[in-house]
């Protein structure tokens, strides 16, 4: 009986070793999309009142965990019984990401001046803030859902020839690390100015080391947020373009001399603007019927 118990422990140990090894490989494969996920979600998690940043980020994080709980079992089932559906879902998700990226580019080109005159978050009437938060949280969770699909599918592709137990454990570990890692870093970013003010108020000196570091953190936050907005938009277009490039044969063989990143950007931008145009036409049709 004791030998049987130790045999079970040995099996568990071997399984954990396999999962750890495959998780490292899968994490490396998903590193690019995780970077894009960080940029997109950091940009979406900013722009709230200081007192509401962590509660809002926690709401988005819980939504991200729920996304993974929905995606993981569906991905395993589809991979086993209907693999073609994964490609279709990826492409539809790519269209949504391209649409979001193109919309940001469109708004910057044609409505930049309007955005500059929009009221800041601290100028919005207090009664409107809860609804504004709900809208931004919902949008962030939807975008996270699409990016999570891409992360799960890429991780799954690295262990597709492994036993089902290792597939489930490996992809689940990668999904968990993606959520905790991405939103942990986002939390540090959005609270950067608060950490800066704490360092400034750490002592009564006016030009101490802590004051200098605190000022750097406070002054750097707006620049980082602006940079993340740009990087997040590029990430949406590159991720979506990559989905089209790697999953649609026609696009994959188009412009073979162009660098992959440039191809991904062009595909994402063009398809995004097509989706944006179609959406605007649909909205106009609905308005005209009313």
Overall average pLDDT of the 90-97 stretch: 83
Which 8-state DSSP code applies to residue 124?
S
The pLDDT tens digits for 271-285 are 999 999 998 888 888
The pLDDT of residue 56 is above 60: yes
Burial per residue of 23-52, b for 16 or more beta-carbon CB atoms within 10 angstroms, e otherwise: beebbebbeebbebbbbbbbbbbbebeeee
Confidence check: pLDDT of 39 > 70:
no
What phi and psi values does residue 37 have, to the nearest 5 degrees? -60, -45
Q: What is the mean pLDDT of residues 24-33?
A: 52
CB neighbours of 156 closer than 8 A, spacing ≥ 6? 75, 76, 79, 167, 171
In this prediction, residues 163-183 reach a mean pLDDT of 78
pLDDT, residue 1, reads 47
**Range scoring the smallest mean pLDDT among 2-11, 21-30, 37-46, 60-69:** 2-11
For residues 79-91, average pLDDT: 80
pLDDT at residue 187 greater than cutoff 70: yes
pLDDT at 12 over 70: no
- 120 has pLDDT over 70: no
What would the pLDDT profile of 124-143 be if each residue is shown by its tens digit? 566 666 777 788 888 888 87
| pLDDT value, residue 270 | 92
What CA–CA distance (Å, rounded) separates 234 from 240?
Answer: 10
For the ranges 1-10, 107-116, 218-227, 249-258, which has the lowest average pLDDT? 1-10
| 67-76, 201-210, 251-260: least confidently modelled range | 201-210
Angle between helices 209-247 and 260-289 (to 10 degrees): 80
Q: Report the range of poorest mean pLDDT among 1-5, 32-36, 84-88, 175-179.
A: 1-5
Q: Which two structure tokens, joined as six digits, stand for 54?
A: 């962590």
Q: How far apart are CA 186 and CA 180, in angstroms?
A: 10
Of residues 164 and 236, more confidence is placed in 236
**Average pLDDT over every residue of 5-32:** 46
Buried b / exposed e over 153-186, threshold 16 CB at 10 Å, is bbbbebbeeeeeebbbbbbbbbbebbbeebbeeb
Q: Is 207 helix (H, G, I), strand (E, B) or coil?
A: coil
What mean pLDDT comes out for the span 156-161? Answer: 70
The pair of three-digit structure tokens given for residue 217, joined into one six-digit string: 């953190």
pLDDT at 9 over 70: no
Q: What's the whole-number mean pLDDT along residues 255-278?
A: 89
pLDDT confidence of residue 272: 92
Looking at residue 277, its pLDDT comes to 92
> Which residue bears the tokens 């999570």?
148
Sorted by sequence, the CB contacts under 8 Å of residue 164 that are 6+ apart come out as 76, 80
Q: Contact 140/41 with Cβ under 8 angstroms?
A: yes
> Residue 77: its pLDDT value, please?
85
At 14, the pLDDT band (50, 70, 90 cuts) reads very low
Residue 39's nearest CA partner among 144, 133, 120, 135 is: 144
pLDDT class for 18, splitting at 50, 70, 90? very low
Task: For 230-245, write each residue's pLDDT tens digit.
Answer: 877 887 788 888 888 8
């Amino acid at each position: 009986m004791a030998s049987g118990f130790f045999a079970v422990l040995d099996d568990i140990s071997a399984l954990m070793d396999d999962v750890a090894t495959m998780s490292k490989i899968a994490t490396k494969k998903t590193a690019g999309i995780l970077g894009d996920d960080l940029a997109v979600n950091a940009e979406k998690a900013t722009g709230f009142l200081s007192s509401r940043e962590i509660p809002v980020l926690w709401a988005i994080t819980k939504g991200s965990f729920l996304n993974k709980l929905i995606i993981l079992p569906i991905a395993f089932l589809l991979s086993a019984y209907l693999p073609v559906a994964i490609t279709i879902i990826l492409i539809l998700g790519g269209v949504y990401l391209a649409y979001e990226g193109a919309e940001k580019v469109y708004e910057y080109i044609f409505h930049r001046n309007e955005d500059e005159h929009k009221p800041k978050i601290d100028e919005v009437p207090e009664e409107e803030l809860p609804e504004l938060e709900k809208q931004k949280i919902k949008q962030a969770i939807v975008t996270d859902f699409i990016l999570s699909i891409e992360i799960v599918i890429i991780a799954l592709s690295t262990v597709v020839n492994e036993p089902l137990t290792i597939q489930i454990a490996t992809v689940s570990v990668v999904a968990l690390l993606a959520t905790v890692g991405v939103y942990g870093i986002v939390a540090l970013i959005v609270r950067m100015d608060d950490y800066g003010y704490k360092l400034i108020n750490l002592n009564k000196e006016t030009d101490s080391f802590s004051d200098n570091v605190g000022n750097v953190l406070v002054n750097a936050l707006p620049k980082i947020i602006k940079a993340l907005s740009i990087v997040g938009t590029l990430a949406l277009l590159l991720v979506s373009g990559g989905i089209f490039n790697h999953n649609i044969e026609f696009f994959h063989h188009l412009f073979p001399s162009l660098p992959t990143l440039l191809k991904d950007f062009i595909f994402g931008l063009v398809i995004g603007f097509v989706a944006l145009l179609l959406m605007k036409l649909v909205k106009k049709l609905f308005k005209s019927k009313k």
